[in-house]
Structure 1
Amino acid sequence: MLNMIFTGLVAYDPKTSKANNAMADSITSSDQQNWTVTIKPGWKFSDGTTVTAKSYVDAWNYGALVTNKQVNASFFQYIAGYNDVAPASGSPTAQTMSGLKVVNDTTFTVALSQKFSTWPQTLGYSAYYPLPASFFNDHAAYLAKPVGNGPYVINAWNRSQNMQLRPNTGYSGTNKPQNGGIDLKVYTDTNAAYADLQSGNLDVNNGIPNSALKTVQSDLNGRFINEPAGIIQTLSFPLYQPGWSTDGAKLVRQGISMAIDRPTISKVVFTNTRTPASDWTSPVLGASGGFKEGLCGQECTYNPTMAKQLIQQGGGFPGGQLTISYNADGPHKEWVDAICNNVNNAMGDTKSCVGRPVGTFADFRNQVTGKQMTGPFRTGWQMDYPLIQDFLQPLYTTGASSNDSHYSNPQFDSLVSQANAEPDQTQAVTDFQSAEKLLVTDMPAIPLWYQNGTVGWSSKVSNVMLDPFSVPVYTAITVK
């Protein structure tokens, strides 16, 4: 919904993932660290007020300030002064970031705390959207009916039930709606939604239930898309545990990876709605954006004989048995059991590997963040923006916000910093891939599969496609 009522400084091409200027007229820097942002004049919020540079600076400062408790605060961590407004202590020493300055109505400057050449390409993410004055002046009223600067406006909203979105007649962007509006419906049962899709009571459904995947093509007469999205699923290791941090444990981790039959699990368990992973990014990035099929090489290729050799050579599983933890309230048991079957078959021992269910996702994540894991555990990452940086830096640099394995390699960190400082996009991607190759040897997390996006639609509509985030491009949908 946020992406339907807002437009950011940049927007991502739904077919190529490329970041193109949207509200931004230009985003420039001479040193990859100090940026000048100029926005296009004349843009309006749907309440008629003008979008200015201050609309961005105020929104970003609000989003970063720790006392506002915004879940996307960490996206501002690269801006100078972030640590003053969001210190670990929770007691800010400043209310605004020193790196943000309004120059005039259409220009603001951003000083980053480090060089970050691809920073402009991150700015299509929802954390960076502008906010109107009404957000600050009458917060409760704004939350009841949010106002944006995007292609749609909220006409009516019944929380947890439905939302009516209608075209924003004053919209200045290029992606103007090709329809008369979108009615969003909330379903608590994916099978009920699918039944409505089949009967024509629902036009677009990107939550196809697993039970329908085997028949969806015939059910919908081919009106179905199944393609890789910007999501990767992994198994991470608790490298803070002594048994998993030895040189021998690297071989064990590689061996576990080679024991996994990714193609068969993707086909049998997931009905081909997963694509076997051979790197730590996503195919949606494309070759120019950093995806390199096969980068992981033999370490991500099914080879049970070599898997057993490496596991034995590395000293076996710490503790004697491999346990794979996952949240029991999600659809994970079947694939975890399948991986354990692979490992048990490779080792010739039916008790080498077992799944370890943890009650709820909240309980599971609390154990992960509390460093309580003793064996590998389920992890996944949905990209925030289509950059190789987003698949590597937040997950694998030392002390990064989403580094669940607590992996630390100074060479990896150095290559990431080198890539961020590189003004040439092609060279930056090369540097990131050099860092990524270190993950092959170190294997802090095993790439399993890229999650696919799926969508089905009724015979009443056409021109349905998925963007790189596996969300339908609603503005492009036409009614027959």
Structure 2
Amino acid sequence: MNLKRSWLAVPAVLGLTLTACSSGSTGSNGGSSGGSSDNIVTVNGSEPQNPLIPANTNETGGGRIVSSIFSSPAYYAADGSTQLDAAESITPNADNTEWTIKLRADGKFSDGTPVLAKNFVEAWKMATKQNLGSAGFFADVIGTDDDGSGDMEGGLEILDDYTFVVKLKGPESDFMKRLGYTAYSPLPDSTLADPKNGGEHPVGNGPYMPNGENAWQHSKQIDLAVNPNYSGPRTAKNGGLRIVFYQSLDAAYADLSSNDLDVLDAVPNSVFSSYQQELSGRTANQPAAVIQYVTIPSRLEHFSGEEGKLRRKAISMSIDRDSIIKTVFAGTRTAAKDFTSPAIDGYKEGLKGSEVLTYNPEKAKELWAQANAISPWSGKLQIAYNSDGGHQQWVDATCNSIKNTLGIEAEGDAYADFKSLLGDMKAGTTKGGFRQGWQGDYPSLYNFLFPTYSSNASSNYAGWKNAEFDKYLSDSLSASGTEALELQYKAEELLFEDMPVIPTWYSNTNGAWSTKVSNVQFTWNSTVNYFAITKN
């Protein structure tokens, strides 16, 4: 958030804005924080990677903003359950190949225009025709290619102003679970006509809207006002949001401690062992659907083919996850056992090949020697990370663990912010490996596997391709219950064979809030229900 979203600008690949009169003080990042008199809630965030078009936003900085400005047919409650939002009903046919979405007749965008079936249909078609960042989420709709690109010809049918049908390539019993993700949001006529302006000045159908023409102050903050036209279940209980783009979690925590920031969704490593005591009664430490990993692409020297598989497995078994979790994270992480999350139904430990995630120095050295027999190692291993996400300490500890086990040079490669790192990840220009993470978009094992590892996935920064993996996932969509899970387990076992990424640990939500707010709800995937927060 995590990607997000290959998300995660903060400990997981995780921004919003609002204009309002604020009598608050100036935070340590230079942004004006919200005061208690304005009923505006200030939260931490990061500069979005792209203009604010929902289907082109798959990282957490932009994700938290578009999820507040837009509403999809459904949304996810704090416990991960799927609830209706823009839709009045979502109904499948007998074999789950066609899903009829009936919208609420009172739905309006923040500019007062009605939210119609065409606004969903045309927004989705724009995503696939232009192959936007989240186009892959439409790959199962008729009229798209395997990567989600295409015109969706025959895949979407408008029945009337407020009703449309989604026609899938095959049965999908859990399709409704996806419809809470922001990629499925509608766009108003104005943005469909001028996406560039709509991305900079978004007009949405969600609980918040940009507060004025200059709401988004790039690299600083975004101000969101309550959308008076929103009539769905996520009605704002406050006067708006100010999302401040911090350059470091330490600066954000300092502002929170002095009540100049209301909510922080990830605390810095430096306070893991103390924040629950320092902010007693105002903290969260709970499991979340978030996983962190290190990606070492096959494009790098010594990491292609069989040599690359051996080296990634050796590196994985060189990382003393338990010690790093204890010393760096004060026990607020859990060593990874797979590529998904124990917070998701269907999670399973002990999959074939998962022993590669266990610290085993002797085996690591053995595998490294086998790789050297193919091609002797040269150079140094680098792991890139974004400095604004609180990652330096664990990256340094991970590099030291690898160095001490394998006897090679290993070091971190710091980027100023996540936007810069993500740009090089997408361009394939990082000098070495890089930290990455995934924050669940919707509560499903499939969501942890398809967007990050399928051959044409938008967040597959490892560049890994495996047709058998793709088929297992595709077949799982038309299966149900245990059968679907078994196919997804088989897909995961292929990941253990090739190790396109090296899972490190599952993240907890480690957040906190000021004395000025109440009703702070951290959700199943570590996000915050901003709309529910009240000012004291």
Structure 1 match to 2:84: 21
Does residue 2 of the first structure (1) align with residue 69 of the second (2)?
no
Whole-Å separation in 2 of the counterparts to 1:163 and 1:246: 45
What residue number does 2:160 align with? Answer: 104
Residue in structure 1 matched with residue 49 of structure 2 by the alignment = none
Output aligned runs, 1:192-341, within 5 Å.
192-239=251-298, 244=303, 247=306, 250-285=309-344, 288=345, 290-295=346-351, 297-313=354-370, 315=372, 318-321=375-378, 323-327=380-384, 330=387, 332-341=391-400
Q: 1:413 aligns with which of 461, 466, 470?
A: 470
Distance 2:175 2:300 in 1: 35
**Which residue number in structure 2 is paired with residue 80 of structure 1?**
142
Aligned with 1:355: secondary structure? Answer: strand
Equivalent in 76, 90, 108 of residue 12 of structure 1: 76
Q: Which residue of 1 aligns with 2:110?
A: 46
1:201-236 deviations in Å (ceiling 9; x for gaps)? 332222534444443223322411233443322233
Q: Distance in 1 between matches of 2:197 and 2:271?
A: 41
CA separation of 1:303 and 1:269: change in aligned 2, threshold 3 A: same
Contact map agreement 1:326 1:377 (CA 8 A) in 2: yes
Instruction: Count matched residues.
Output: 464
Is the 2:269–2:393 contact (alpha carbons within 8 Å) kept by the matching residues of 1?
A: no
Match of 1:36 in 2: 100
Contact 1:232 1:381 in 2 (8 A): yes
On the 8 A contact 1:61/1:97 being kept in 2, the answer is: no
User: Which has the higher mean CA deviation after the structures are superposed, 122-131 or 135-144?
Assistant: 135-144
The AA in structure 2 aligned to 1:403 is N
Residue 432 (str. 1) matches residue 488 (str. 2): yes
Measure the CA separation in 1 of the matches of 2:271 and 2:116. Answer: 47
Contact residue 232 and residue 447 of structure 1 kept, 8 A: yes
Secondary structure of the corresponding residue to residue 20 of structure 1: strand
Task: Confirm or deny: 8 A CA contact 1:79 1:97 kept in the other structure.
Answer: no
Give the partner amino acid of 1:131. Answer: L
Partner of 1:58: 122
The 8 Å contact of residues 156 and 164 in structure 2, kept in 1 or not, is answered as yes
Q: Judging changes above 3 Å, is the alpha-carbon distance between structure 1 residues 426 and 13 closer, same or farther for their aligned structure 2 residues?
A: farther
Separation in structure 1 between the aligned mates of residue 512 and residue 320 of structure 2, nearest angstrom: 29
Q: CA deviation at 1:448?
A: 0.8
Q: Using the alignment, how far apart are the partners of 1:363 and 1:146 within structure 2?
A: 23
Q: Which residue of 2 aligns with 1:397?
A: 454
Match of 1:118 in 2: 174
| Displacement of 1:267 | 2.7
1:475 paired residue number: 531
Matches within 5 A, 1:327-406: 327=384, 330=387, 332-347=391-406, 349=407, 352-355=408-411, 357=413, 376-406=433-463
What's 1:176 paired with?
Answer: 235
Report the secondary structure of 2:125's partner residue: helix
Write the deviation string for residues 409-465 of structure 1: whole angstroms up to 9, x where unpaired: 44322211210221x244322321221123223322221122343321112322212
Q: TM-score, normalised by structure 2?
A: 0.74
Distance of 1:366 and 1:457 partners within structure 2: 31
Q: Deviation of residue 280 (structure 1)?
A: 0.3
Kept in 2, the 8 Å contact 1:244–1:318? The answer is: no
1:450 correspondence with 2:513: no
User: Identity across aligned pairs (percent)?
Assistant: 37
Cα distance in structure 1, aligned partners of 2:445 and 2:381:
27
Deviations 1:334-354 (A, max 9, x none): 43442333234334x3xx242
Residues 259 and 343 of structure 1 are in contact (CA less than 8 Å); yes or no, is this contact kept in structure 2? Answer: yes
Q: TM-score of the superposition, structure 1-length normalised? A: 0.82
Higher-Rg structure is 1
CA contact (8 A) 2:473 2:491 kept: yes
What secondary structure is seen at the aligned counterpart in 2 of 1:131? coil
Query: How far is the alpha carbon of 1:32 from its aligned partner?
Result: 4.2
Cα distance in 2 for residues equivalent to 1:85 and 1:291: 26
Q: Kindly state the Cα deviation for residue 276 of structure 1 after the two structures are TM-superposed.
A: 1.8
CA distance 1:356–1:42, change in 2 (3 Å): closer
Q: 1:371 to 1:457 in 2, by over 3 A?
A: closer
The CA distance in 2 between the partners of 1:190 and 1:391, in whole Å, is 26
Whether the aligned pair in 2 keeps the contact of 1:40 and 1:106 (CA below 8 Å) is yes
Q: Give the structure, 1 or 2, with the largest relative contact order (CA under 8 Å, sep 6 or more).
A: 2
Any conservation in 1 of the 2:210–2:216 contact (CA below 8 Å)? no
Deviation of 1:38 after TM superposition, in Å, equals: 2.5
- Structure 2 residue runs of 5 or longer lacking an equivalent are 1-64
The whole-number CA distance in structure 1 between the counterparts of 2:254 and 2:301 is 51
Of stretches 109-118 and 18-27 in structure 1, the one that deviates more from structure 2 is 109-118
Distance 1:408 1:184 in 2: 37
- Asked whether the 8 Å contact 2:424–2:430 carries over to 1, the reply is yes
Q: Distance in 2 between matches of 1:171 and 1:164?
A: 17
Change (3 A) 1:367 1:435: same
In the alignment, which residue of structure 1 is the partner of 2:5?
none
> Taking structure 1 as reference, are residues 133 and 344 closer, same or farther at Cα in structure 2, changes over 3 Å only?
closer
Please state how far the C-alpha of 1:468 moved relative to its aligned partner. Answer: 3.0
Task: Identify if the C-alpha distance between structure 1 residues 431 and 387 changes in structure 2 by more than 3 Å, giving closer, same or farther.
Answer: same
Bigger Cα displacement from structure 2, 164-173 vs 260-269: 164-173
Structure-2 change in CA distance of 1:195 and 1:62 (3 Å)? same
| Cα distance between partner residues in 2 of 1:359 and 1:151 | 34
Q: CA RMSD in A?
A: 3.6
Shift of the alpha carbon at 1:372? 6.9
CA separation of 1:5/1:379 partners in 2, compared to 1, >3 Å: closer, same or farther?
A: closer
* CA shift in 2, pair 1:465/1:394, >3 Å: same
In 2 relative to 1, CA 362–209 (structure 1 residues): closer, same or farther, beyond 3 Å? closer
